[in-house]
Amino acid sequence: MSNSLLKYASITQKISMSLLGLFLASFLLVHLTINLMLMLPDGGESFRAAAEFMGTNPFIMVFEYVLFAAFFVHIVLGIILWMQNNQARPVAYAKANVSETSFFSKYMIHTGVIIMLFLFLHFVHFYFAKIGLVDASATYMFEGHEHPDFYTMAIELLKQPLYAVIYILSFLALGFHLNHAIQSGFQSLGLEHSKYTPAIKSISTIFALIVAVGFSIIPVFFLIQG
């Protein structure tokens, strides 16, 4: 009878999901800050400096692998949980459930898959160029070496209407994901408080809005700028 896909207790899996998810969410703010630099009118100087720092700082380079591992485990665990949950109700109801719940909480796997697909696209565009797996579409000289020019690459991509739409939709999905995820992460960790929990729920929504709107304005900015 048991859900033997993974021999960890359900709560252990949920706690792991939460810790990894909250860690990934905190990284989003760093990424957002750097991305917003794309819109600075300095010809990409600050953005390139930030990208250079992220690519060469030894601490960040180690951190990068931790980040990849976190993404990987969060995704795999998410899929395992989803499969276990599907097995728990083999016969569906004839009349679909109408209980009042938070809307986004029911679509975590769906928004999660959209984010995962975008992440893959993002890897193909940037990370593969960074590690030299594919040729960078633009380069610049830095300290006598040719470097992939992420500033030009990003702007070229964001100016394409199709990419801009994919980008915005992906961050919309991420916003929906985060809106439930942050407060849910606190609940799974047992961090529940009669006074602070309502505040955490608001922070969850505000955080989701900042991420979704913050990232989405960038392609809009470049599309308007032409």
Partner 1 sequence: MDLTLKIWRQANTKAKGKMVDYKVTGVSPDSSFFEMLDVLNQSIIEEGGDPVAFDHDCREGICGTCSLYINGRPHGPDSGITTCQLHMRKFKSGDTIYIEPWRAKAFPIIKDLIVNRGAYDEIIQAGGYISVNTGGVPDANAIPIPKVDSDTAMDAASCIGCGACVATCKNASAMLFVAAKVSQFAHLPQGKIEAKRRVQNMVATMDELGFGNCSNTYACEQECPKEISVSHIAKMNREFFAAKLCADVKDI
State in angstroms the smallest separation of the CB of 87 from partner 1.
Answer: 7
Q: Which is nearer to partner 1, 117 or 189 (CB)?
A: 189
Sign of CA dihedral 89, 91, 97, 99: negative
State in angstroms the smallest separation of the CB of 113 from partner 1.
Answer: 15
How many Å apart are CA 129 and CA 115, to the nearest integer?
20
Q: How many alpha carbons fall within 13 Å on the CB side of residue 102? A: 14
How many Å apart are CA 210 and CA 214, to the nearest integer?
5
State in angstroms the smallest separation of the CB of 197 from partner 1.
Answer: 8
Sign of CA dihedral 97, 99, 104, 105: negative
String of b and e for 78-102 (b: at least 16 CB within 10 Å)?
Answer: bebbeebeeeeeeeeeeeeeeeeee
Q: Which is nearer to partner 1, 65 or 93 (CB)?
A: 93
State in angstroms the smallest separation of the CB of 200 from partner 1.
Answer: 11
Total length of the chain: 226
How many Å apart are CA 80 and CA 77, to the nearest integer?
5
How many Å apart are CA 180 and CA 25, to the nearest integer?
12
Rg (CA), the chain: 20
**Token reading at 43:** 């010809």
State in angstroms the smallest separation of the CB of 101 from partner 1.
Answer: 4
How many Å apart are CA 132 and CA 64, to the nearest integer?
16
Q: Which is nearer to partner 1, 130 or 201 (CB)?
A: 201
Q: Which is nearer to partner 1, 113 or 217 (CB)?
A: 113
Q: Which is nearer to partner 1, 77 or 157 (CB)?
A: 77
Q: Which is nearer to partner 1, 10 or 137 (CB)?
A: 10
Q: Which is nearer to partner 1, 3 or 139 (CB)?
A: 3
State in angstroms the smallest separation of the CB of 67 from partner 1.
Answer: 24
State in angstroms the smallest separation of the CB of 103 from partner 1.
Answer: 9
Tell me which residues touch partner 1 (CB under 8 A).
Answer: 1-3, 9-15, 81, 84-85, 87-102, 105-106, 108, 180, 183-184, 187-192, 194, 197
